[in-house]
Every structure is written in C-alpha cells, then in structure tokens.
Structure 1
Amino acid sequence: IKLDDKYYLSNEIILNDRFLILIKKDITKDYKTHLHIIKKAFIISVILVFFAFIGVYFVLGFLINKLLKTEEKLRKLNANLQEEVKNQVEIIKAKLDENTQKEQLLNHQSKLAALGEMIACIAHEYRQPLATLGAISSYLEISLEKQKIDDKFHQKLKEINPILNYMSKTIDEFYDFYKTKQEKSSFYVYEAILNSLTICNASLTRNAINTTLRLDKNLKINSYKNSLAHAIINLITNAKDALVNIKNPYIIINLYAYKNNIYISIKDNGIGVKKDLEEEIFKPYFSTKNGSGLGLFMIKNILNSELNADVFLKTRKIGANFYIRIAYE
C-alpha cells in the first residue's frame, strides 16, 4: 500500500470480534530501488535491440551485395561464353578452306556439347546452396519480426558467407576451365585430373557413381593443362553414360609412369565395348549410343595435336578401360 509517498507491507491480525491489529512495514527504499533497476534494464534492452537491428541491417546489406556480385559474375560468364562461340564460328567461316572447316566444325560442335554439360553442372552445383540460402533468409526474416535475436540467429548469419564463397569459387573454376586461349605451362598431371572431376562431380554424384583415385602426384609435364582436362572429362562422361542401369557403378582412375610414358587409366564396370570396335570408336561420327559420335574422335585429335599424346582402349570382361599415354622425358 502507498501512504504519504511511501510504500508499506501490511498485515492484519484479528484477536477477537472487537480487536484488530494492523502491522505496517516501511519498504519505500527497497521498492524505489527495485523500480530504478527495472527502468534501467528496460532502457538497456531497448538500446541493445536498436544496435542489433543496425548490425543486422549492415550485415545483410553486405551479404546481399556479395550475392549480387556473384550473380553478375555468372551473367558475364554466360555472355562471354556466347560471344566466344560466336567468334569461333566467324573465324571458321572466314579463314579456313573446306577440309579445315570440317575439322574445326567438329571441334566447335564438341565444345558446344561440353558447354551444355558445363552449364548443367553449374545449375546442379548451385541448386543446394541456393536452397540453403533461402532457408536461412526465411529464418532471419521471421526472427527479426519476432525480435528474437539469439545465438542461433548469429550462427545462421555466419553460415551465409561460406556458402557465397563456395558459389563464387565454383564460378571461377568453371570460367578458368573454359578459357580457349592457352599457353604451355608446367603442371602436375594429377591437378588436371582433379580439375576434370570438379566439372564432372555433380553428374557422378547424381548417378551414384563411386570414384576411386590412385594418383602418382610427382608426375609433372610442360603442356596444355585445359586440353588434357578436356580429354579426361570426355572419357569420364563416356564412362558415366556406360554405367546407366548398372548395379554398384564405379570408375577407377589411375595415374602412373612406365617406360618414359605417363599413363592415365580410366576404368569402369559398365556395358563395355566389343573387341572388334576398339579402333572404330575413334573415328568421326561413330557412336555406340544415340550421340554425335564426336567425343572420342575429338579426344584423339586434341591429344595428338596439342599434347604429344594418344588414347587407346583395352577391352575387359566387365566394363571398359581407356588409356591416355603421354610422352614423358
């Protein structure tokens, strides 16, 4: 109760029908201290919430800006790829005679097929990160509406940046691979194999194909890294296509040196190739599938002309085993 600007605790004691004792205890000092603490806590809470909103505003602004930059990089990549294809067609029409035109057109067709596969891989690689970003965004929005800024809220903010970095790194890797202008450089052969698997990884995962690597990491050559990676991608893609409807599909990639040569072996447990077709499959427009028949022909052409290398097939009872042989000094 409040009397004369003071606060009291009261208690009544009834002795009998005629007597009543009222006991009062002055708690003014304690009560006012309590009110002061509550007021101070409220002010501090309001200030903290205000700064939290400010912090979230700037963090989300930064992350959204970074996401937009990544999106712009992807747009430029697509524009560059389209421009590159256009330029290649114009060069073919303007400078080459009939026989050379045919060879270049085959090469161009192969690159277009690889481009389609590459864009499909980018889409698959981005599907899961974008879904994760969408879920995090929804959680942050709901938390802000409920003014629920706790440890989980800050943890979700921290999860965004690694996802964006992964997406940006993926674009850079695909862009570097597709560069058509190449210069010879010294590189470890296993790096070209790993680059190829980066491109093919989404497709292999989607088809539940187990990949085993046995690589000698000391083998180094001076050549065209992207051309070698392009050839390996084609062989991996052929192996993947041969593993459709195969139980427990696998691909084994070996890298080793033998008698002044480097060998890259790509082995699968797919449907295999008949022995009498070992040479035929490397001819243009020959295909055991419903495809263009350019893949193996272009692989052989790239390896022969650019890498001083060759490709051949050894038939197996189960699956196929393709070899890339590179002269090694």
Structure 2
Amino acid sequence: MKSTYFVALFFLLLISSLIYNVVEDNRRVNNYFDFDEYIADIVIIDNNFNKFIGSDIGFINFDFINDQIERANFNINKIEEANIFNNIADRSLKKEFLSIAELLKKKMRIVERLKSHNAILNNSLRNNIKIIEHIEDKRYLNIFVKIVALNFNSEQSMDSLKKQLEEITPKNKFQELFLVHSKIILKKMKEYKALKEDGSVLAFGRELESFEKNYSSHTKELILGIKNIILALLLLLSILIFGFLYYSYKVLKSQLELKRFKNAVDNSNNFVVVTDKDKKIKYINKSMSSVTGYSLNEVIDKTPAIFAAGIIPEDYYKKMNEAIYSGEKWTGEFINKNKEGNIIYEKATISPIFNEKGKIEEFLAIKQDITKEKEILKSLKEKDHRLTQQARMVIMNEILNSIAHQWRQPLSIISTAASGLLIHKEYGTLNDKLFTDLADSIMNNSQYLSQTIDNFKSFFKTGNDVTIFNIKNSLDKSYKLIEYRLSNLEIKYIFNCDDDSIVLKGIENDLIQVFVNILNNSMDALENLGSRPKLILIDISKDENNVYIKIKDNALGVSEEVINKIFEPYFTTKHNFQGTGMGLYISHQIISDQFKGKISLENTGFSWEKAQYTGVECLITIPLLDDNFENERPTLGTN
C-alpha cells in the first residue's frame, strides 16, 4: 500500500512537474517570441529611418516619423523591461543589444534634427517662392533657381551661392527677405547634408544580423532544452502525452507564424480579398475595408460583385473566370465603387489556392488602388485636347484671313457692278451691252468666290485621317494660307524641291499646321525689318532614309538663349496678346511623336543673288514612308 502511495505520489509529482514545466516553458517561449517581434519591428523602423535619411528635401509625413520614433522607444523599453537577458547565459547578446540600442537612439536624434531642418528648409523655400514673384532682378531669380537645384544636384557649390548672396545689396524689403531666407537655406542645407552623412554612417545592419543570428541560435538551444525535458517527462508518463505536448508545441509555433502573416496582410496598403471556390468572400483586410467603407461582417459570404460599379462588360468577367478556374493566375483592372457609390479603379492579381489534392480551395486577390493615376491620366488627355483645339484655331484663323483677303476685291467689284446696274436703270442709261458687261462681271467674280471656297475645302479633305500625301502639295497648301500676308509684307517666297514625288504617311493637316506655325514666326520677325529686302527660302531634299525640309529667313536671327527655349510650352518672345507660346511646342510634338522625326532651329548665314543675309534656319527631318506607321492619331505631349 505504501509503495502504491509512493508510486502514486511519484507520478503526481511527475505530472505536477510536467504541468509546471510546460506552463513555465510556454511563458518563456512567448517572451522570446515577443522579443523576436520587437527586434523585427526595430529592423523595419531602422529601414524607414534609412529611407528618410537618404531622401531628398521635400514634404514628409511628420506624424509617420514621430510614430516610428515612438515605436522604436517602445520596443527598446519593452525589451529592457522584460529582463530577458538576465536568463541568458551568453552575456554577449546583452552587450550586442545595448550597442544596437545606443546606435538606434543616436539615429533617432539625427532623424529628429533632420525633421526639424527639413521643416525649416521647406518653410524658407515656400517663403522664397512667394517673395520671388515680387522681385524683377534676374540675379535673384538665377540664385533662386540654383537654390532649388541644390535638392537635386549635390555637386552644386554652396560656397559659390553664399558668395553671390553676400555680393548682392538688397534694394527693397522683398530682396532683403529673399536674401535672409536664402542664407538660412544654405546654412540649413549644409547642416542637413552633414546630418545625412552622420546618419548614413550609423548603419548597424550587420550588427542586427549578427544579433539575430546569435539570438536565433540561443532560441534554438532553449527550445531544444525544453523539448528534451518534455520528452523525458513524456516517456515516463506515456507516449500519448508526449504526442499531445509535441503537437501543442507545433500548433503554438504555427499560430505565431500565422499571426505575423495575418498582421502583415491586414496592415498592407494593398487590398486583399480571400474567397472560397464559389467566390464567396471569407476575408478582406483593413485597407479594403477603409477604402470601400464595407466592414468584413457586411461582405462575408457575399460575392465580390457587391463592389462592382456595373461599367465593365460581362465578357471581361467571363474571361477572368475562365482563367482562374483553369488554375491560372489572372492580372487585370477593375472599375468598382465604394459604399457611397464613388468610383474606385483597381489593378488586381487573382491567384487560385489549391488543397492537398490539387483542387481549387480558395481564391486570393491582391489589388492596388490606381484611382489617382487614372484621374491624372484623364486630366492629361483633357489638356492634350485643349492644346490640339488651340493649335487648330491658328489654322482656322489663317484660312479666314486668307479668304477675307481674296474675297475683298471680288466683293467690291460685285458691289460696284450691282450699284451700277441700279444707277443706270434709274437714269435710263442701261443698254444691253452695259447690262451684259456688268452681269458678266458679277458672274465671273461670283464664280471666283465659289472656286476660292472649293480650293480651301480641298485643304482639309482628309480631316484627321492617316493618308499618304505629297509633301510639295502640303507646302503649296500652306503657302496659299499665308499668301495674302506675304504679299502685304512684301516678302519674297523662294521654294525649291529636288523631287516633286516625295510622299509621306501621316495626318497631312498636322504637317500643314507645322509649316504655317514656322512660316508665321518668320513673317512676324521679318515684319520688323522695315524697308529692307525680306526673304523666306524653302528647300526640300531627301536621301535613302529621310526627307529634309529647310525653312530659313533673313530676319537677323535670335539669341542663343531664345533658341534653347523655343520649343518649350508657353515660351514666347511676343507680347501676351500676340502669342501663346504653344505654336512651336505643338509643332515639335507633331514632328517627333506623329512623324517620328526631328525639328531644330539655329542661326545661319547664307547668300542669295550675290548678297549676304543672316537669319534663322528651321530643319525638319522626317523618315520616308514606313508601311508600319500607326493608323491612329498619336497623343500630343507624350513620348
């Protein structure tokens, strides 16, 4: 009996010891895993600090940086409060951690100072942006541009800029404020770069890697020791208890990994949706819930059709279903809506998830919100349309001016003849010959007006269609649009073409628009020459690959500074009421984007009829006819 009690007591002690060890070891394991989470979070925070330190000056999310600093301090405090190193025999781990913590604290101090400098620099830059609008002195604008470039060009000499600032004497309060803020920027920029250099050397990735490796090795040893204890106790009790405890250990480890994965998915910026094989929703992450306005409880067991905006055709979804149900990954875009009915554009990838038998069990959709990108693209297309319409108004203006010029004399003759008929009729002096002469004059001039309309209609028969056209004919059409102005300004127009059969493929009206823009610029410049001879020379030639169109004038040329900016949008040397600065920009886009060619301007000297002249030469190079030319109009402003 005593031996029975002794055995029972022995087993009771074993069971109690087993329970105690399991509980204690479980607590230790949890502490070690919590510690591992803190270290993993420190790695993420350190990477974020490195990104911030390596980034250029600009707008930053101060709340995010402050949050990262708070998280870093929280993790360090938690690790220190846990006193986990007191239970570790290897004292080097504590030394390594203290070294890492000290480096991280130094980096946080640098980040704090960088954040402060960034705020000061942004404030001063914004002030200078407002102040420079009130300063007309080009020296200040030049310095302002160089200061702004400091953020993009690390090789820019700050000492040179500082010297320039010291050499300038302000003449008003705006100039004075500009110099004050500029000096602050240079000072803070220098300190900012120095802080970045200090921060960049505070890299402790290797120390973290070494620490994680050593800590992982220690953790493995700890787990192995626990495992051996449990195995010893389980062998004394039973194989079944051993299996149960081993299974519990595996479950614990899996749950921790699952928890980490779930946290990563739930906090991802991408939308994550999980459905069963019938496409009924089982899970959506926080980002999906936040943007759509639906909670998980509202969409669970419903299909993703609850998000559909009803814009995408059914065939699109049919092809998607065919792909994913065949076991393939599908990538595409959705047009959905949130709970309030607002449109959301999404770029999505849907992958089937298979069970152990190789059958589809679930579907995983990872989606990215591209609504802002779509809105920006729409805005660019609208801007392109406005620019195109504006360019077409230039051609329409030339047509109307040319028609008005060519109609003025015939209409005057018709009016005079009609008045003559009435006067002679009233005084009884209208005889048959006079009636016939005046009627013929009215008829002939009316036919001339009709023929003029037909001529101008023929200019734009092709509309916006891609056609094959003769380039000489295109220049002839351009000439007719500006002929009246050439005559009024007494400009001599000299045209030479080596080969009358040169053809191109594209939208002829757009090329005519380019010619008219260039010729108008030459005429504007020649108008200021007074009584001196005015020339426009056009020469067309080709080789095996390209056609070359040279248009030059004798308007004395322009400055190199103007030539370098001539193709920029909204740049003009004319008064605001005379030009928009878009003509040559659009011409450049048409030649480069639609005709895949090149256009350039340069000052040149030339001789004509034994006299020397100076002016600007425009060279247009266009590849000869290509059968693979796109049959649609390219978008202006894109490359």
Q: TM-score, normalised by structure 2?
A: 0.35
> CA separation of 1:177/1:95 partners in 2, compared to 1, >3 Å: closer, same or farther?
farther
Kept in 2, the 8 Å contact 1:227–1:306? The answer is: no
2:410 pairs with one of 129, 141, 158: 129
Larger Rg: 2
Cα distance in 2 for partners of 1:288, 1:229 equals 23
Cα distance in 2 for partners of 1:280, 1:95 equals 26
2:517 pairs with one of 228, 234, 250: 234
Cα distance in 2 for partners of 1:113, 1:188 equals 23
1:225 pairs with one of 483, 486, 508: 508
User: What do the CA deviations read for 1:72-93 (whole angstroms, capped 9, x no partner)?
Assistant: xxxxxxxxxxxxxxxxxxxxxx
Offset of residue 296 of structure 1: 0.4
User: What do the CA deviations read for 1:255-282 (whole angstroms, capped 9, x no partner)?
Assistant: 2213421112111111422234333101
1:313 pairs with one of 591, 601, 610: 601
Which residue is equivalent to 1:184?
466
SS where residue 158 of structure 1 aligns?
helix
Cα distance in 1 for partners of 2:462, 2:564 equals 29
Cα distance in 2 for partners of 1:254, 1:193 equals 11
User: What do the CA deviations read for 1:55-114 (whole angstroms, capped 9, x no partner)?
Assistant: xxxxxxxxxxxxxxxxxxxxxxxxxxxxxxxxxxxxxxx996122333332222222333
Which residue is equivalent to 1:203?
485
Which residue is equivalent to 1:108?
389
Which residue is equivalent to 2:587?
299
Offset of residue 147 of structure 1: 4.1
| Structure 1 range deviating more: 134-143 or 110-119 | 110-119
Cα distance in 2 for partners of 1:133, 1:276 equals 52
Which residue is equivalent to 1:283?
568
Offset of residue 192 of structure 1: 0.4
Letter paired with 1:238: N
Kept in 2, the 8 Å contact 1:189–1:221? The answer is: yes
Cα distance in 1 for partners of 2:403, 2:441 equals 21
Offset of residue 117 of structure 1: 3.5
Cα distance in 1 for partners of 2:596, 2:404 equals 34
Which residue is equivalent to 2:345?
none
Offset of residue 300 of structure 1: 1.0
Kept in 2, the 8 Å contact 1:254–1:266? The answer is: yes
Offset of residue 184 of structure 1: 2.2
Kept in 1, the 8 Å contact 2:598–2:621? The answer is: yes
Letter paired with 1:268: D
User: What do the CA deviations read for 1:192-211 (whole angstroms, capped 9, x no partner)?
Assistant: 00111111111221222121
Which residue is equivalent to 1:327?
623
Cα distance in 1 for partners of 2:622, 2:434 equals 54
SS where residue 187 of structure 1 aligns?
strand
Q: TM-score, normalised by structure 1?
A: 0.65
User: What do the CA deviations read for 1:196-233 (whole angstroms, capped 9, x no partner)?
Assistant: 11111112212221211112312122322211111111
Cα distance in 1 for partners of 2:527, 2:463 equals 35
Work out the percentage of aligned pairs sharing the same amino acid.
29
Kept in 1, the 8 Å contact 2:554–2:616? The answer is: yes
User: What do the CA deviations read for 1:33-76 (whole angstroms, capped 9, x no partner)?
Assistant: xxxxxxxxxxxxxxxxxxxxxxxxxxxxxxxxxxxxxxxxxxxx
Cα distance in 2 for partners of 1:112, 1:143 equals 45
What is the aligned length?
A: 236
User: What do the CA deviations read for 1:215-256 (whole angstroms, capped 9, x no partner)?
Assistant: 231212232221111111111111110111312212111122
Which residue is equivalent to 1:272?
557
CA RMSD of aligned residues (A): 2.4
> CA separation of 1:113/1:227 partners in 2, compared to 1, >3 Å: closer, same or farther?
closer
Cα distance in 2 for partners of 1:306, 1:127 equals 37
Structure showing greater relative contact order (alpha-carbon pairs closer than 8 Å, 6 or more residues apart) = 1
Which residue is equivalent to 1:143?
424
Letter paired with 2:493: T
Which residue is equivalent to 2:98?
none
SS where residue 555 of structure 2 aligns?
coil
SS where residue 160 of structure 1 aligns?
helix
Letter paired with 2:599: V
Which consecutive residues of structure 2, in runs of 5 or more, have no partner in the other structure? 1-374, 606-613, 626-639
Kept in 2, the 8 Å contact 1:272–1:319? The answer is: yes
SS where residue 533 of structure 2 aligns?
coil
The list of structure 1 runs, each at least 4 consecutive aligned residues, that deviate by more than 4 angstroms after superposition, is none
Mapped pair 1:166 → 2:452: no
Offset of residue 121 of structure 1: 2.7
SS where residue 589 of structure 2 aligns?
helix
SS where residue 282 of structure 1 aligns?
coil
User: What do the CA deviations read for 1:92-142 (whole angstroms, capped 9, x no partner)?
Assistant: xx9961223333322222223333333233222221111111111122233
SS where residue 104 of structure 1 aligns?
helix
Cα distance in 2 for partners of 1:234, 1:154 equals 45
> CA separation of 1:177/1:155 partners in 2, compared to 1, >3 Å: closer, same or farther?
same
Cα distance in 1 for partners of 2:487, 2:588 equals 27
Q: Which has the higher strand share?
A: 1
| Structure 1 range deviating more: 287-296 or 147-156 | 147-156
Mapped pair 1:251 → 2:513: no
Kept in 2, the 8 Å contact 1:187–1:220? The answer is: yes
| Structure 1 range deviating more: 113-122 or 235-244 | 113-122
Cα distance in 1 for partners of 2:597, 2:451 equals 31
1:262 pairs with one of 524, 543, 547: 547
SS where residue 244 of structure 1 aligns?
helix
Which consecutive residues of structure 1, in runs of 5 or more, have no partner in the other structure? 1-93
Letter paired with 2:383: K
Which residue is equivalent to 2:26?
none
SS where residue 527 of structure 2 aligns?
coil
2:495 pairs with one of 205, 208, 213: 213
